[in-house]
Structure 1
Amino acid sequence: MGRERKKGQSGAAVAYISRNQALKKLQLTLPDFRRLCILKGIFPVEPKHKKKVGGAGKTYYLTKDIQFLAHEPVLAKMRNFKVFVKRLRRAMGRDDLEQAERLSSNEPVMPLDHIVRERYPTFVDALRDMDDCLSMVFLFATLPQENRVKRKVVQKCRRLSVEFMHYVMASNRLRKVFISIKGIYYQVEIQGETITWVVPHQFAQHTPSDIDFRIMLTFLELYTTLLGFINYHLFTSLNLHYPPMLSEFPPTEDGEGAENDEVFESLAHQLATLPKTALETEEAEQDEELAQLVDADLNADEQAQRDATRKQEEEVEKARGLFSHCRFFLGREVPREPLVFIIRCFGGTVSWSSTQAAGATYQEDDDTVTHHIVDRPKQMHRYLSRYYLQPQWVFDCINAKRLLPVDQYLAGANLPPHLSPFVEAAEGEYIPPEQVERMEEEGEEIPVMELEPARKSKKRKAMEEEEETMKEELHSGAGEALIRPGVVEKPEDPNKLAKKQAEEEKRLAIMAMPKKKKRLYGKIMQSRQKKSTEVRKLKQRREVLEQQKGKKAKAK
């Protein structure tokens, strides 16, 4: 006879542990426990049967995760930091400034390198988690320096973000851009991985008081370590020195010359105009020879797929030099940093007024300028040898992968809609006319928008049924007396008969459905009806806008 198992010693009761029990086991406070879980990627779980575990109203974790945290080296660093804070407070309370200064110089550091290597075993795994990382780092790079967000944190985020932007400019990895209310969305492609992040607009940022910045700073601590590793790997892949050499720039009064924004901006032109190294040229030749050998062993389907991939790569390569023959000058009122970034990513040359910021290479009166980016309807002085365009032209050209006509983007003109390149046209969704024209030019298939009929009220349905009944009676024997003699009835259209027959078969099929499938079908039709209603509203709104534009044009 087997040994009797006692309650609470096996099964779900042992597999899960409550948060309070985990705090006692690890001997941590709640903020430190949250910080450790964020760094290690440990999240609470929901047991299937809470009564077997210990009751509802508690937060549970897997026991094996807590045992995994018990052997973390960061745990010892946290305890050492508590001892350091206690000694520092004691020295400050005794006014022992010498002891306090000595303790401050020996503040314990908490390295997170091993956690990054543990959570991201390969470089591709790190690239797949770059979306949130970049969005967080670029957000803190624009925040004001205050008590909750220290100056060192903002400067570190600024340095890492600028280094990543320099790599994108040097390697021409930018693919799509979009301006929204939240900020500017960028999309790059690195080693086959698509990375999308958002950068806030360059306005005065206000830090809200209802946000727990301790949790955000914990995520930021992990993300800055991760981005430092990635920047190092990306720079060395282009045979560039990391961190960038900034010895030619003099230090500031506070001794942090490498942290200046002017230094970051002036470095952009150096990295963006670097020629290809001999190693890159040799690797390109080897790849081409290898591709020729592989093509000889492929069948027809694989060859067609490879040709399509090669054609797409050629289009991307062609788009990299989109602005190679353009020379831009930026006005004072336009956002300089995003425009400089995207123009240099696509091979363009750009400058600005030397009184606005450092790093300008030519002035406004340069005769070689072809495009002047402004955001004012009227200019005091104009040069006839250049176009005065609004900033949206640059963004739309990148998304269209070609230089668009400048007629609709001139200074003071009503701009066309700025369409998002991240939205793909699907069947049953609203497609703007501008996108339809672009798809027709590129030869893409345009999905058909089938609008569901609008919902009718019960009164309207009853009236239509009554009309149908009267028509059937007229065509039946009861209504033969009302039909004039000698009049030959026209046969019904065969298309209408087929349509009626299909509708009747559909109705009978719905009636024969089981109750469960009928509910599912009703939900599908309800979502389709909702989508078609939204499409109909958008089309009506577009018609109203077109009518208003026509009235304004007539008034002028």
Structure 2
Amino acid sequence: MVSKKKKKYSSGEGAQFMTRKAALKKLQLTLKDFRRICILKGIYPREPRNRKRAQKGAGGIKTLYHTKDIKFLLHEPIIWKLRELKVYQQKIRKARSMKQYGLMRKYFRDYPEINIDHIVKERYPTFVDALRDLDDCLTLCFLFSTFPSLKKVPRDQSTLCRRLTVEFMHAVIAAKALRKVFVSVKGYYYQVELEGQTITWIVPHHFSFQPQSKDEVDFKIMSTFVEFYTMMLGFVNFKLYHALNLVYPPKLTAALSDSDKDLIDEQAYVSERIAAMNSPLTKVTGSNEAEELPEIDIFNTEDEDPQKLEEAKQEAEKVKKLKTLFKGLKFYINREVPREPLVFIIRCFGGEVSWDRNHFVGATFDESDESITYQIVDRPSMEKQYLSRYYVQPQWVFDSVNARTLLPINKYLMGAVLPPHLSPFVDKIKDQVYIPPEQRALNDPDFKPLDDDEEGSDIEEDSDEDEEKAEDSAEEGDAETALTKQYQEEVEQDSSSEDEDDDMDPAKKKIAKEKKKTMAVSSGVPYKEHPYQKEIEDKQAFRLREKLVRKKHRNLYKSMKAGQEQRKKEIWLLRKKRRLHDEKVKLEKKNEKRKQRTQALEAASA
């Protein structure tokens, strides 16, 4: 029996991948609905190993999906909902064209809604899975919370993002979960630790919204992502509030509730949001305060490392102190200072905060309160000052949180030139990391960056030490040669005395003499090693070891080496940038001194 010939591209990569056009035909969806359902279900295009085989011999570059993902979408009930929506849209369009407005209102009233609860549960079966994937969700929700009503974005979406983000920030305050903060050009970076998971997101600076052209930003795609993320963040907030014994949904101000549909002024909204953040949340009746975490239990394991255990204990102690960093301290914020990030940070670490009640709502105490510990000011001077408090700049709060202790205020006083604001998001696992001099000084108090004069003096000291070492080595060499000469002379004297005393044959005596000469100790010749020879040999040995890498691991090894080279290049560029900056600052200082000197001479001559 002759076997049937196998059809080309019926197996392997040809059968594993499917083009977007084929997927639309199989699912019978429009491109708009297909994009929406792929975003909701978390299905993305894939990159094949061999594009020609995956595209079944077709040329060009096409968008490819896994065939099993598209088959998985066939069983999704939302597809039928999308088809129902299409039918209703056609009915509404027909009723409008026929001017049957009563029927059109009926269709709008019965318009089906898509519920994506089951998709959230399907993609994130456990609470930890949702927390692990919360970074992009929070960043996009905080971004949309700053948007006004836009054409491509549903009307209630920005309001919903505002409410959910404020609820999440309240949960972080109640849990005291904030760990790191950083101010950059993009916005405020926050990092929290919830249920053992590290979550990092960005809150943009509060500026007025600038419309973007259609080509730059596709708000429709972003809005579809936000549709899923708001549902996911609602689930996360519900779980967090119940874990913290808090009532959900919390009773916030009217400007943050979904029921309030009236448009309000943006400045009034921001003030309401900050006022809501400064008020405590309602706890569940009969619940106790959240218990402190117990000490770390030590279990005997096979590969227990006492150093790691000690590091874990120290980290736990630092976190415990960090949670009460501002406890018992009262802060007053001037009106020129951005209040939202400072209120959030101070409240996360147990501090009390207030501001001018005549300008913003939600103030808890006045400026004249004598119990205020710190007043945060962002101006060079103030007319009226109180002796019972410190006047510091806002950066002191951020740097104190990152340092996990209250820093000395002498560098952050009102009108002082601030030190560099260093990022705490440094990967300590990487072996190739650029550490600026300020970070080194912070890590090691004994570290001092060297000036040109100090470097010159150090070089001179090193050269003097080298000369002394050379002289010592020369003296040691001379002493050794003298000892060897003395030893040879003694050996020769002994041999001559023995020859005179013993009556031996002259031939035997000659042989014995030669043997004794060969046994004598002679002065050694020092071997001078080539300075670069060892380095060359090490490189050759390293190349030989590289050839021993297995074929299946060779690509991985190449990518690792490429990563190392890239990091090395980045570090070199950063060092060069820092050197140029330091040279520019030094030149400016020199010019300033020269200018002051000339002015003084002119004044003296006048």
Give the TM-score, by structure 2 length: 0.73
Contact 2:256 2:273 in 1 (8 A): no
Contact 2:193 2:199 in 1 (8 A): yes
Q: Matches of residues 50-65 of structure 1 in structure 2 within 5 Å?
A: 50-51=52-53, 53-57=56-60, 58-65=62-69
Q: Is 1:502–2:502 an aligned residue pair?
A: no
My pick for the range that moved more, 334-343 or 524-533, is 524-533
CA spacing shift, 1:2–1:542, aligned 2, 3 Å: farther
Partner of 1:406: 409
**C-alpha distance in 1 between matches for 2:303 and 2:15:** 58
Q: What is the Cα deviation at residue 100 of structure 1? A: 2.4
Partner of 2:373: 370
Q: Matches of residues 106-125 of structure 1 in structure 2 within 5 Å?
A: 106-125=110-129
**C-alpha distance in 2 between matches for 1:261 and 1:429:** 39
Q: What is the Cα deviation at residue 404 of structure 1? A: 1.1
My pick for the range that moved more, 128-137 or 1-10, is 1-10
**C-alpha distance in 2 between matches for 1:145 and 1:354:** 30
CA spacing shift, 1:253–1:270, aligned 2, 3 Å: closer
Letter in structure 1 aligned against 2:37:
L
Letter in structure 1 aligned against 2:531:
K
**C-alpha distance in 2 between matches for 1:250 and 1:231:** 15
**C-alpha distance in 1 between matches for 2:155 and 2:360:** 22
Q: Matches of residues 336-355 of structure 1 in structure 2 within 5 Å?
A: 336-355=339-358
Q: Is 1:267–2:297 an aligned residue pair?
A: no
Q: Matches of residues 81-160 of structure 1 in structure 2 within 5 Å?
A: 81-160=85-164
Q: What is the Cα deviation at residue 349 of structure 1? A: 0.6
Partner of 1:449: none
My pick for the range that moved more, 129-138 or 248-257, is 248-257
Paired residues in the alignment total 499
CA spacing shift, 1:439–1:377, aligned 2, 3 Å: same
Q: What is the Cα deviation at residue 13 of structure 1? A: 3.7
SS in 1 for 2:347: helix
Partner of 2:32: 31
Partner of 1:186: 190
Identify the match of residue 74 of structure 2 among 62, 66, 70.
Answer: 70
Letter in structure 1 aligned against 2:314:
K
Give CA deviations for 1:117-158 in whole Å, capped at 9, x if unaligned.
111111111111111000000000112222233431111100
CA spacing shift, 1:530–1:161, aligned 2, 3 Å: closer
CA spacing shift, 1:303–1:24, aligned 2, 3 Å: same
Partner of 2:359: 356
Q: What is the Cα deviation at residue 62 of structure 1? A: 2.0
**C-alpha distance in 1 between matches for 2:120 and 2:256:** 34
Give CA deviations for 1:8-35 in whole Å, capped at 9, x if unaligned.
4721443332222211221111111111
Q: Identity of counterpart residues, as a percentage?
A: 44
SS in 1 for 2:327: coil
Q: Matches of residues 443-462 of structure 1 in structure 2 within 5 Å?
A: none
Q: What is the Cα deviation at residue 2 of structure 1? A: 6.0
**C-alpha distance in 1 between matches for 2:414 and 2:246:** 40
Q: What is the Cα deviation at residue 406 of structure 1? A: 1.3
Contact 2:247 2:283 in 1 (8 A): no
My pick for the range that moved more, 1-10 or 375-384, is 1-10
Partner of 1:476: none
Q: What is the Cα deviation at residue 352 of structure 1? A: 1.0
**C-alpha distance in 1 between matches for 2:3 and 2:133:** 49
CA spacing shift, 1:514–1:169, aligned 2, 3 Å: closer
My pick for the range that moved more, 132-141 or 33-42, is 33-42
Identify the match of residue 320 of structure 2 among 317, 321, 324.
Answer: 317
Contact 2:179 2:193 in 1 (8 A): yes
Identify the match of residue 241 of structure 1 among 238, 242, 247.
Answer: 247
Contact 2:374 2:392 in 1 (8 A): yes
CA spacing shift, 1:514–1:334, aligned 2, 3 Å: closer
Give CA deviations for 1:190-238 in whole Å, capped at 9, x if unaligned.
1111110011001112132121111111111111111010000000001
Q: What is the Cα deviation at residue 509 of structure 1? A: 5.5
Contact 2:346 2:353 in 1 (8 A): yes
Contact 2:9 2:53 in 1 (8 A): no
- Larger gyration radius, structure 1 or structure 2: 2
Partner of 2:400: 397
Q: What is the Cα deviation at residue 110 of structure 1? A: 0.5
**C-alpha distance in 2 between matches for 1:536 and 1:193:** 37
Give CA deviations for 1:221-260 in whole Å, capped at 9, x if unaligned.
1111110100000000011111113599999974799x96
Q: What is the Cα deviation at residue 38 of structure 1? A: 1.1
**C-alpha distance in 2 between matches for 1:510 and 1:267:** 62
Contact 1:272 1:344 in 2 (8 A): no
Letter in structure 2 aligned against 1:15:
Q
Contact 1:142 1:154 in 2 (8 A): yes
Partner of 1:535: 575
Structure 1: runs of 5+ lacking an equivalent: 447-493
CA spacing shift, 1:142–1:410, aligned 2, 3 Å: same
My pick for the range that moved more, 3-12 or 432-441, is 3-12
Give CA deviations for 1:379-410 in whole Å, capped at 9, x if unaligned.
24322322222111111111111111112212
**C-alpha distance in 1 between matches for 2:73 and 2:545:** 53
Give CA deviations for 1:320-339 in whole Å, capped at 9, x if unaligned.
11111321111111111111
Partner of 2:10: 10
Q: What is the Cα deviation at residue 95 of structure 1? A: 3.1
**C-alpha distance in 1 between matches for 2:252 and 2:545:** 73
Letter in structure 2 aligned against 1:40:
K
**C-alpha distance in 2 between matches for 1:296 and 1:19:** 53
My pick for the range that moved more, 104-113 or 304-313, is 304-313
Structure 2: runs of 5+ lacking an equivalent: 449-525, 550-556, 598-606
CA spacing shift, 1:121–1:522, aligned 2, 3 Å: closer
Partner of 1:222: 228
Q: What is the Cα deviation at residue 280 of structure 1? A: 5.3
Two-structure CA RMSD over aligned residues (Å): 3.7
Identify the match of residue 423 of structure 2 among 420, 423, 432.
Answer: 420
